[in-house]
């Protein structure tokens, strides 16, 4: 599948107060316009050519995207001056441009990009259409305005805003065989100019296949309230299943708030990685001051750097800027941070005590090595267990840095190093036996 059609011609009257001089598709949501999110999701799914049906304030959209080169795909525009009529007209205007199977999307629907990847691989017969249907629709959906569907044996048998018997909601994501245009035209000739009305024409012919929505979220943004909900959903989606407990309950709730602010600035994910690294180095230097007060400050700053360390990945995901290099840089600089932090604590404590005791240095060695081995074994473990689908032993940087903060606040640095040395090395050794048992 190479092509996609995005309908972006409508006036979006219910959200006018926000959009002001811009058409609705150009409303910003966490650093990207609504339609940019749709286009970048398509790009990630491997689509190489996009057709946008424009109407209301079309010149603004054309000016914004140009030929699409900046996004790594080709963008073409189809004009629909009848945008005051139903949105089915926009679909019909595309008839001469799409001579194969294509994706059909709305410019104001935001969704987990995994959904598109699944839909792209959906098999269709002649004249058929696949429609993504949410059968466990969440409670924020405006049921009065939503397009409902009735699914029976995998086929949509009824569709419309006002049907009474329904068991799912139309998510606004379709995969269409070009041959189906024939039926759209028949629908129009009967006076039906809305997309759902045209789809009903397909459903009646038993050609409308239901595709279960299995992504994490989707939302149709028609109102300011829905725009806010969409923001919440996107931010919530940044919480990762692999997050450790400290990350989940302390770091992530704060870092997503910071990300929400930063995402509108021209800050790249890699710059954030470096900023977090610098904050951590600052903490290491403060430990060298060698007194209680600075230990407390340094501990808090270390924890802060650990929080900020989440922002690089969050910005990357929100702005479709994930790269292999970024992930690598993040993990390498994390190791440098760990090294300098533990070095700072070891020397700082020695300065505080006024003596360079060999026991402190030895414990420092082991704490540093154990921290490192935790990350090292985790990386290599992931490589292996990913293949086998086994769940590993999680003990991550989030917990280590949190322990550093606690130890620093309590001014128990040697005990802290000892605890780190024991726990981290214990976990590493345990992983060896865990893996031996599992595989």
Query: Is residue 223 a contact point for a second copy (CB under 8 A)?
Result: no
Give the pairing type, strands 49-54 and 28-29: unpaired
Secondary element (H or E) of residue 49 = strand 49-54
Do residues 345 and 413 make contact, with C-beta atoms less than 8 angstroms apart? yes
Q: How far is the CB of 360 from a second copy (least distance, A)?
A: 10
Query: Is residue 335 a contact point for a second copy (CB under 8 A)?
Result: yes
Alpha helices in 157-222 (DSSP H): 181-189, 195-204
Query: Is residue 434 a contact point for a second copy (CB under 8 A)?
Result: no
Token pair 């390498």 is found at 332
What's the token pair of residue 39? Answer: 């286009």
Q: Which stretch binds a second copy (CB under 8 A): 24-32, 80-88, 360-368, 395-403?
A: 360-368
Query: Is residue 337 a contact point for a second copy (CB under 8 A)?
Result: no
Q: How far is the CB of 244 from a second copy (least distance, A)?
A: 20
Residues ≥6 apart with Cβ < 8 Å to 89: 80, 82, 83, 188, 193
**Residue 137 or 365 having the CB closest to a second copy:** 365
Cα 49 to its chain centre, rounded Å, is: 23
Main-chain phi, psi angles of 406, to 5 degrees: -60, -50
- Which listed residue (172, 364, 396, 407) binds a second copy by CB under 8 A? 364
Size of the site for a second copy (CB under 8 A): 38
Binding mask 382-401 for a second copy (x = CB under 8 A): -xx--x--------------
- Which listed residue (380, 390, 426, 430) binds a second copy by CB under 8 A? 380
Q: Which stretch binds a second copy (CB under 8 A): 3-11, 68-76, 134-142, 317-325?
A: 317-325
Do residues 105 and 89 make contact, with C-beta atoms less than 8 angstroms apart? no
Q: How far is the CB of 252 from a second copy (least distance, A)?
A: 23
CA distances from 182 to 128, 146, 179, 370 (A): 11, 26, 6, 67
Q: DSSP secondary-structure letter at 411? A: T
Q: Which residues make up the interface to a second copy (CB under 8 A)?
A: 323-325, 328-329, 331-332, 335-336, 339, 343, 347, 350, 356, 358, 361-362, 364-365, 368-369, 372-373, 375-377, 379-381, 383-384, 387, 428, 431-432, 435-436, 439
């Amino acid at each position: 599948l190479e092509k996609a059609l995005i309908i972006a011609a409508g006036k979006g009257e219910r959200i006018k107060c926000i959009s002001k001089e811009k058409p609705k598709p150009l409303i910003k949501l966490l650093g990207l316009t609504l339609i940019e999110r749709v286009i970048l999701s398509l790009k990630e799914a491997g689509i190489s050519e996009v057709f946008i049906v424009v109407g209301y304030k079309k010149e603004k959209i054309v000016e914004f995207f140009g030929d699409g080169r900046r996004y790594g795909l080709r963008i073409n525009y189809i004009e629909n001056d009848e945008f005051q009529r139903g949105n089915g007209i926009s679909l019909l205007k595309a008839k001469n441009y799409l001579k194969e199977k294509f994706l059909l999307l709305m410019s104001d629907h935001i969704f987990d990009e995994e959904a598109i990847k699944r839909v792209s691989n959906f098999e269709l017969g002649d004249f058929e259409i696949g429609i993504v249907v949410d059968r466990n629709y969440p409670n924020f959906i405006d049921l009065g305005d939503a397009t409902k569907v009735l699914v029976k044996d995998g086929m949509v048998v009824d569709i419309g805003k006002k049907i009474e018997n329904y068991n799912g909601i139309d998510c606004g994501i379709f995969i269409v065989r070009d041959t189906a245009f024939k039926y759209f035209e028949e629908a129009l000739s009967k006076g039906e100019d809305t997309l759902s009305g045209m789809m009903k024409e397909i459903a009646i012919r038993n050609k409308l296949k239901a595709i279960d929505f299995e992504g994490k979220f989707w939302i149709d943004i028609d109102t300011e309230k829905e725009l806010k909900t969409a923001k919440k959903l996107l931010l919530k989606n940044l919480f990762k299943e692999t997050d450790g407990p400290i990350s989940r309950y302390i770091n992530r709730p704060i870092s997503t708030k910071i990300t929400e602010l930063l995402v509108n600035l021209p800050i790249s994910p890699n710059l954030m990685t470096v900023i977090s690294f610098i904050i951590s180095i600052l903490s290491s230097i403060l430990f060298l001051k060698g007194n209680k007060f600075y230990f407390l400050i340094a501990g808090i700053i270390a924890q802060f750097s650990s929080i900020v360390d989440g922002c690089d990945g969050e910005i990357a995901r929100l702005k479709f800027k994930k790269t292999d290099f970024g992930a690598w840089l993040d993990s390498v600089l994390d190791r440098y941070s760990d090294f300098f932090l533990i070095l700072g604590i070891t020397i700082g404590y020695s300065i505080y005590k006024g003596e360079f005791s060999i026991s402190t240095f030895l414990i420092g060695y082991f704490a540093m090595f154990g921290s490192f081995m935790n990350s090292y074994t985790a990386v290599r473990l992931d490589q292996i267990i990913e293949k086998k689908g086994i769940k590993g032993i999680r003990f991550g940087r989030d917990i280590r840095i949190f322990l550093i903060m606690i130890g620093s606040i309590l001014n128990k640095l040697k005990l802290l190093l000892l605890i780190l040395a024991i726990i981290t090395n214990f976990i590493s050794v345990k992983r060896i036996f865990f893996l031996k048992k599992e595989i």
